[in-house]
Structure 1
Amino acid sequence: MSSDHISSDPAPVTKPSNWNVPNALTTLRIILVPFFGYAMLQDGGDSIGWRITAFVIFTVGMITDKVDGDLARKHNLITDFGKIADPIADKAITGMAFIALSVVGSQSGEAWYVAGGEVWWWVTILVLVREWSVTLLRLSIMKDIVIPAAQLGKIKTTAQGVGLGFLTLPLVADDHAWGTAGEIAFYAAQVVLAIAVALTLWSGYEFFRDAWRQKRAARA
């Protein structure tokens, strides 16, 4: 038999190991969540030093979100662990930011639906319900239906990161350490976050719509 025919069968495709840099960054992002929450809520959110620390932790977490995805796609390191852990890590750190900012704002003693110098509670609840319902549905149908991340969802994540990130800073501290620039940045961050919330709800609608269409097409 000619040696030209010995290797005619295609080489088996080996799955990348779960022990890789993108998954390590995803795990780091999950680990950072409680530390971020702790820093945000120190002294009721009134400590300038702890709020800046929280900003640094949150920024590191959001950067890892970008880096681990780029590395996984570039080096073909997409794993089952990454598919499950990555969206959980994303929702965990942004969800903690929403909750912490609402907790800090509710120190004013106002009703739950209007309290929140940074983020109103009703906004936080609405966003968390959307984010986790989409994540749970994505994980539950992962084996049957693959819905790639839409561009709108990526823009939403970026807007959330920018808005939440700046709001973690003590921009309107009682001692007015940030001055007029802090107030401008604060209200600009509120506008960005409002846009992010609108994109969050719309992209959630698109996800459920596409999931329903694919499910119906699969049955047909």
Structure 2
Amino acid sequence: MEEEKLPAGPTRTVSPYNAANLLTVLRLVLVPVFLGLAVSSGLTGTPAHFAACLVFMAASATDFADGWIARRWSLITPFGQLADPIADKALTGTAFVLLSAFDRLPWWVTLLILTREWGVTALRLWVVRHGVIPAGRGGKAKTVLQVVTLTWYLWPAPASLDPIGVGLITAATVLTVTTGVVYLIGAVRLRYGQGTAVPPRQNL
């Protein structure tokens, strides 16, 4: 999950070998497993297809779990700050590309969402010397909605329920673009000294 603001506190050394980071690494490891199962199944309702869905859901669960653990026990490390958003984008990006490759989603939707996601990553690098902008409620809602939408499209739902998927992907796309614009404005304000942010070490 994207960076979240943590309560300020005294600086302390945190080992990178902690539960939050291990979950992040697990998510990275599960990405090729999910990809292999999805490609081998062709997303055609085979046992491998259902296995791919379950692996995606398990990997997504680690996204929320590692953030909660890191906040609860202040397990903040430079590795976690770097690896967590990479793992998130690797997982959801792989799912979006797969769904477009198998004609479940239009390519323009996938390209638009991936441009936003990696664009925000570039913005983070652009302002990293000035601080880190914590994710707001919109960013958190965007992540949840993307995961729900991807799960819906990955699972072999009956064709009669297609309108639900259309509603989900529409909402996910709008929220993804909107929060991207908000982040762009915040990054520009921070870069040119017109905004505030929390120091990088106080964000996961």
TM-score class normalised by the smaller sequence: 0.7 to 0.9
8 Å CA contact retained: 2:38, 2:52: yes
**How far 1:146 moved relative to its partner?**
1.7
Partners of 1:133 and 1:24 lie apart in 2 by 26
**Higher relative contact order, structure no. (Cα contacts within 8 Å, ≥ 6 residues apart):** 2
Normalization by structure 1: what TM-score? Answer: 0.80
CA distance in 1, matches of 2:25, 2:17: 11
Q: Specify the alignment match of 1:128 in structure 2.
A: 114
CA RMSD across the alignment: 1.7
8 Å CA contact retained: 2:120, 2:180: yes
The alpha carbon displacement at 1:97 in A equals 0.5
CA contact (8 A) 2:41 2:49 kept: no
- Deviations along 1:160-179, one digit per CA (max 9) or x if unpaired, are 000101111122xxxxxxxx
Contact preservation (8 Å) 2:127, 2:191: no
Aligned-pair CA distance for 1:184: 4.3
| Cα distance in 1, alignment partners of residues 146 and 123 from structure 2 | 21
Structure 1 residues 43 and 64 mapped into 2: Cα distance closer, same or farther (>3 Å)? closer
Find the partner of 2:89 among 65, 88, 91: 91
Larger radius of gyration: 1
Partner of 2:166: 190
- What whole-Å deviation, never above 9, does each CA across 1:19-53 have from its counterpart, x for those lacking one? 10000000111111111111112243324212211
Alignment partner, residue 210 of structure 1: 186
Correspondence for 1:168 = 154
- In structure 1, the partner of 2:48 is 50
Query: Once the 2 structures are TM-superposed, how far is the Cα of residue 218 of structure 1 from its aligned partner?
Result: 6.1
Is the contact between residue 23 and residue 66 of structure 2 (CA under 8 Å) also seen in structure 1? yes
How many residues are treated as equivalent by the alignment?
A: 186
In structure 1, list runs of 5 or more residues that go unmatched. 1-11, 106-117, 172-181
Taking the aligned partners of 2:42 and 2:49, their CA distance within structure 1 comes to 10
Instruction: Please list, as runs of the form range in 1=range in 2, the aligned pairs for 1:10-29 lying within 5 A after superposition.
Output: 13-29=11-27
Tell me the CA shift for residue 74 of structure 1: 0.6
